[in-house]
Amino acid sequence: MALDFKHASLVEGVRFTAQVGVPNVVQGLFRKREVVVSSLGKLPGDHLAYRLVEGLEKKYGPDPFWVRVGGDEALLVTHPDDLKVVLGGSPSPFASDPDAKRKGMAAFQPDALTISRGDLWADRRAFAEAVLETGNPTHTLARGFAVQSVAAADGLMSLGRAATFDDVNKAFQRLTRIVVFGAEAADDASLTEQLGDLMSAGNKMPGKPADGYADFHARIKEYVDNPDPAALTGLIAGAPQSAGTDVPGQLIHWLFAMGDTLPANLMRALAVLATHSKVLGVARSEVAGKDLTDVETVAGSTYLAGCILEAMRLWPTTALFGRVQAEEVRWANGQKTPAGTQVLIHNLFNHRNRARVPYADRFSPEEWVSGDASDDWRFNFFSHGPQGCPGAGLSIFLGQAFLGRLIARGEPKLAAGPRLRPEQLPYAIDIYGVEIRL
Amino acid sequence: MVSIPNPLNLQWYEHPSLILQLAALSKARDDLREQNLYEQDGMRPDDPSGDPPPGVERARTADGTYNDLGCPMMGSKDSGFGRNVPIANTVIDRKRLLTPDPREISRRLMARDTFKPAGILNALGAAWLQFENHNWFFHGDGRADRVIEVPIREDDDFPEKPMRIRETIPMRGEIVDGQPAPVFGNAETHWWDGSQVYGSGAEKQGKIRTGVDGKVRVDDNGRLPASDIPGIDLTGMQENYWFGPGLLHTLFAREHNSVCDAIKKAHPELDDQRLFELGVLVVSALIAKIHTVEWTPCVLRHPALQIGMSANWYGALGEAFRDKIGRVGDSEALSGIIGSATDHHSAPFSLTEEFVSVYRMHPLIPDDWSFYSLASGEHLKDAYFTDIQGSYTRDFMHSLEMGDMWYSIGKASAGAVCLKNYPNALRNLTRVDGQVTDLATLDIVRDRERGVPRYNDFREALRMPRRKKIEDITPNKDWAREINEIYNGDVDAVDLQIGMQAEQPPKGFGFSDTAFRIFILMASRRLKSDRFFTTDFTPEIYTKTGYDWVNDNSMKDVLLRHYPELEPVIGDVERVFAPWHELGATEPGKKPVILRAADTVKSYLPF
């Protein structure tokens, strides 16, 4: 029996399903349902989920262990060594298209890179890396992007009232359209709305493209066919691609990640900056009096980058994600798990593991600047390994320019939202309840 | 346990039901604990004064001291062997040291005529016993100028005349004719502490350890490194080395390193020393468990032993019960020895000369070996035992894949422990230091030299019936005739080794009931006296990871962890110490014939 991992009990499985699995579904896997998220945010749900997984890990870890989710047992992985095996071994043997994810994503991005396998995955990955310039210290088009980010920040500051998440999100969605498609698309808000509708359909995990997908795809294709040299579409012609790449299909994910996920993280980072005067002071000293349309200045504001990464760590927008084994795997100590095994990674627990992360519940941007946070495979908001987010660098850059401008020019104050204690930050911040005066 | 009347004076296995047999065994063990544990003065140095050194409460020490915190020197390296017979029964008879002629006994009664397979035990099981013996005892190398000369007849082809056997040197004083045997020292620790892997004593352990993360030396290919003894691996015990123990020493060095990795994963704050200590604790306990619940029930296939040995470890309530419910009170009978209170019974713990004697089971080792490819099943080569041992070991092991050697040793049967089955390679063995020895002759001489009673006296000391005539010892008439010739019909002169190997064992047993009496006493004592198997077998001392590791793993798990390529040949095997099936011989849902046979209690013995 030792060459199998330990098994959590049936009761623990029921609790795991209820406290970890189900909330992820009811909040909306892809598009968060505002009413549900807000009401859950008032309950200590994430805290309970953390406590539950913490207890399970203490009892059955640090090796991976089996836990029931609904009717099936899945393997929960918590230790960085094992996360490295899983994420380092993605997409093969650990494919990133578990059934639920594939069925949901099929609604709005059926040909996405993250649910591709084999040669098609390699083909699409090469395309994404070429356009997003993964690994480049700064993107070729970075200067223009910084100018646009600063403009978006300025727009928010001129609202004349406290900014809500809706404001930030809208501003970022507009920025996203400019970055991806060019100025032409700046005010094409209906495209973003259409994506929102498709993502809502994805929450129901239909397993096939939702109604309207073909039209949505056609609209994106139009932008791709009329590239803007100042936007990412301008780089597509020079990127490797084949008949199977489905270029418009790849861009959907960028819209989704930049236009929804990133602003949520930035909103939380802002909330912390507005309530942590010391952190704000350090961040501000980094950018004060500097031109945030200058690429070197933006890229060099590493503490600010740390602030964004900390918001991502503390409040991961994806609390739980998974992999599925495409083949049998033998782990370091001989344990063998069969093809089809669902592997779960609970970011919420891993990022906050207070037994192993000394700064678990503190906002600690410095850990990303001079500590070893960036080498820690526990922190997977951008994932890690071959399937690590190819646009991570670009999105942090956009965030740095945007946030840098807001704190260099403005004085963020929390107008509404939770009280944040620096030493014990909560497991959830309901961004729909946050308002920030800039 | 309630004492059950035994008016017919039946032996334990002669009782009509399993319950009565278990009750009789239990009573026999209680009597043995009461009446068969002896020691002499000067067994061990005086206890050190002052406070114990730091850390001894939580870990086994390199020299075996401080296992018993109240008697720190008990069981330590270089302390003396105890006895299982009263000291007065160990009187040395120097005049009869070579009578009857031990070399003649070797040639006529012990020499293997044809290989008699044990059937129930594979050659891995044979190697396992030697691996274990090397944990437990070693009388030292003796001195070149202190030898016993055994005359060799003209017609004998033994290469040296006379045969020279180094004397066993007592801890103090000398062997005196007509006096009880002096105390002989054990160069190993007496404890079941993995010293064959780690070495006894800090100096030896220093050579084995890497100094990083608690690990021991294993090279990049997963093999043990070379030592300064030609052909012998760098490992804790390097005497009498051959490829079988070589495989096991390698396996458990690797297991140690896996344990250290796992514990470090759970406790990244622990340093090299503590990780090493924990690796030692876990691996020694795992070895002890494998020996108790896997090897022993495989070699002793009697139904009572299948229950009895598991009971030693898990208790009568069984493994599943203990895992779910935990221990029930402090009862050894109900919940097993493991985790119960430490108890030395009637004497401080030491291994004994009689224990060493009954474990002289050299007939387990085959002379002729065949090696097969694990990948294809094809026959690769044959080898004679001489060429796979001693200084030839490393070269031989490097000529084959580890998987091929495991497969070949697992597939081969051990020899039956009986007369005329002593490996001839061991009867003409050139040791690494150049000594030429007949180990069969040596086995006879050693018992006589150390005052181990001859067969009938030995039985009487264990409350077993004396045999009135040689024909009563064995049902094999040819053997009885030859024993009569050698011993001139004197049943009381028959050596312990000869009696045990001539005896018909109980049903399913791989060795004699006489040997078994010492075994049942000492096997449980090795556990019961050891603080780390009893009061300190806890998650607090072992860490939870270490504690679970001991509880969850079996020999098959260990093998598959390090050699997953063995899956096709042991994946469906219940007993890894029974001969493995041929590669590809298993059909889905149907066990191969050899496995079905191995699951039965039918053991081959020539009676």
- pLDDT value at B589 more than 70: no
Instruction: Classify domain B36-599 by CATH architecture.
Output: Orthogonal Bundle (1.10)
Reported as a single tens digit per residue, the pLDDT across B63-98 is 999 999 999 999 999 999 999 999 999 999 999 999
What pLDDT score does B606 carry? Answer: 46
Q: How high is the pLDDT of residue B603?
A: 42
**Which range (A101-105, B134-138, B358-362) has the least confidence?**
A101-105
Q: What percent of chain B has pLDDT over 70?
A: 91
* Mean pLDDT of all residues belonging to chain B: 90
CB B341 within 8 A of CB B349: no
- The ranges assigned to domains in chain B are 36-599
Helix, strand, coil shares of chain A, percent, nearest 5, are: 55, 10, 35
Single-letter code of the amino acid located at A192: T
Mean pLDDT of B110-128: 95
Which pLDDT belongs to residue A368?
96
pLDDT at residue B318 in the model: 54
Continuous H helices in A20-117: 22-26, 34-42, 45-60, 80-88, 99-105
CA distance to partner chain A, nearest, from residue B99 (Å): 53
Residue A79 distance to chain B (closest CA, Å): 8
- % pLDDT > 90, chain B: 74
Q: How far apart are CA B548 and CA B282, in angstroms?
A: 9
Dihedral, B505, B506, B509, B514 alpha carbons, nearest 10? -50
| Distance from C-alpha of B501 to C-alpha of B499, rounded to nearest angstrom | 6
pLDDT on residue B342: 85
B111 phi, psi to nearest 5 deg: -50, 135
Give the model's pLDDT for residue B45: 87
Known catalytic residue at B134: yes
Alpha helices for B412-565 (secondary structure H): 439-449, 455-461, 477-487, 496-502, 513-528, 539-552, 555-562
Q: Contact at 8 Å (CB) between B338 and B477?
A: no
Using CA atoms, how far apart are residues A262 and A398, in angstroms rounded to an integer? Answer: 9
Residues of A in contact with B265 (CB under 8 A): 62-63, 79, 81
Chain A residue whose CA is closest to B264: A62
Report the residue from B265, B549, B554 with minimal CB separation from A79.
B265
Confidence at B319, pLDDT banded by 50, 70, 90: low
For residues B24, B25, B31, B37, the Cα torsion angle rounded to the nearest 10 degrees is 170
C-alpha–C-alpha distance, residues B473 and B483, integer Å: 10
pLDDT at B50: 83
∠ at Cα B458 (B64, B500), nearest 5°?
90
Tell me which long-range contacts B252-255 makes (C-beta under 8 A, separation of at least 24).
B252/B194, B252/B197, B252/B283, B252/B287, B252/B558, B253/B197, B253/B216, B253/B217, B253/B218, B253/B224, B254/B218, B254/B222, B254/B562, B255/B283, B255/B286, B255/B558, B255/B561, B255/B562
The tens digit of pLDDT for each residue in B21-47 reads 888 888 888 899 999 999 998 899 888
Say what the pTM is: 0.88
Q: Which residue of B has its CA nearest to A62?
A: B266
pLDDT per position as a tens digit, B279-310:
999 999 999 999 988 998 898 887 777 776 77
Query: B515 pLDDT band (50/70/90 cuts)?
Result: very high
Residues of A in contact with B258 (CB under 8 A): 332-333
**HEC states along B513-537?**
HHHHHHHHHHHHHHHHCCCCCCCCC
Contacts of A81 in chain B (CB under 8 A): 265
| pLDDT attached to residue A258 | 86
How confident is the model at residue B10, as a pLDDT?
Answer: 84
Q: How sure is the predictor about B581, in pLDDT bands with cuts at 50, 70 and 90?
A: confident
Q: What pLDDT, on the 0 to 100 scale, is given for residue B386?
A: 96
Task: Identify the pLDDT of residue B587.
Answer: 47
Residue pair A326/A117 in contact (Cβ under 8 Å)? The answer is yes
pLDDT reading at B576 higher than 80: yes
pLDDT at B332 over 80: no
* pLDDT of A71: 79
Which of B258, B266, B554 faces A333 most closely, judged by CB atoms? B258
Residue B454 to residue B439: CA distance in whole angstroms: 18
Rounded CA gap, B207 and B204, in Å?
5
pLDDT of B434 higher than 70: yes
Taking the alpha carbons at both ends of chain A, their separation in whole angstroms is 59
Mean pLDDT, rounded, for B481-487: 98
Residue in the structure block whose two tokens are 């008032």: A42
SS3 B423: coil
- Count how many residues are written for chain B: 607
User: What residues of chain A lie within 8 A of the CB of B266, using their CB?
Assistant: 61-62
CB atoms B261 and A332 under 8 Å: yes
**CB spacing of A63 vs B557 below 8 angstroms:** no
- A2 and B554 within 8 Å at the Cβ level: the answer is yes
Catalytic residue (choose from B134, B190, B344, B581) = B134
Give me the pLDDT at residue A1, please.
53
> B159, exposed or middle or buried, with CB in 10 Å at 0-12, 13-18, 19+?
exposed
Q: Does residue B598 have a pLDDT over 70?
A: no
Helix axes A213-225, A189-203, angle to 10 degrees: 140
Give 10-residue mean pLDDT values along chain A (438 residues): 86 87 58 52 73 95 92 92 94 83 81 88 96 94 97 94 94 95 94 89 78 92 96 96 94 88 94 94 94 95 97 92 91 92 93 95 96 94 91 95 95 90 89 92
Phi, psi (rounded to 5 degrees) for A74: -120, 160
Beta bridge partners of B150: B163
Interior CA angle at B568 toward A323 and B408, to 5°? 140
Q: What is the pLDDT of residue B595?
A: 56
Mark yes or no for CB contact B552/A2 under 8 Å: yes
3-state secondary structure of A182: coil
Alpha helices in B156-301 (DSSP H): 195-198, 202-208, 243-266, 272-290, 296-299
pLDDT digits (tens, 9 = 90+) for B234-279: 999 999 999 999 999 999 999 999 999 999 999 999 999 999 999 9
The structure tokens listed for B531 are 């603080």
Predicted local distance difference test score (pLDDT) of residue B574: 85
Give the contacts of B313 (CB within 8 A, at least 6 positions apart).
B289, B292, B293, B336, B337, B338, B527
> Most A CBs within 10 Å: which of B561, B570, B574, B576, as the mutation test of the A interface?
B561
Which amino acid does the sequence have at B432? V
Rounded Cα gap, residues A169 and A191, in angstroms: 14
Confidence (pLDDT) at A100: 73
Task: Indicate yes or no: CB of B549 within 8 angstroms of CB of A79.
Answer: no
Among candidates A332, A334, A356 on the partner chain, residue whose Cβ is nearest the Cβ of B560? A334
Condensed to tens digits (0 to 9), the pLDDT of residues A347-373 reads 999 999 999 999 999 999 999 999 999
pLDDT of residue B430 exceeding 60: yes
Query: Is B262 part of the contact surface with chain A (CB cutoff 8 Å)?
Result: yes
Domains of chain A (ranges, CATH numbers): 6-437 (1.10.630.10)
Given pLDDT bands bounded at 50, 70 and 90, which one contains residue B607? very low
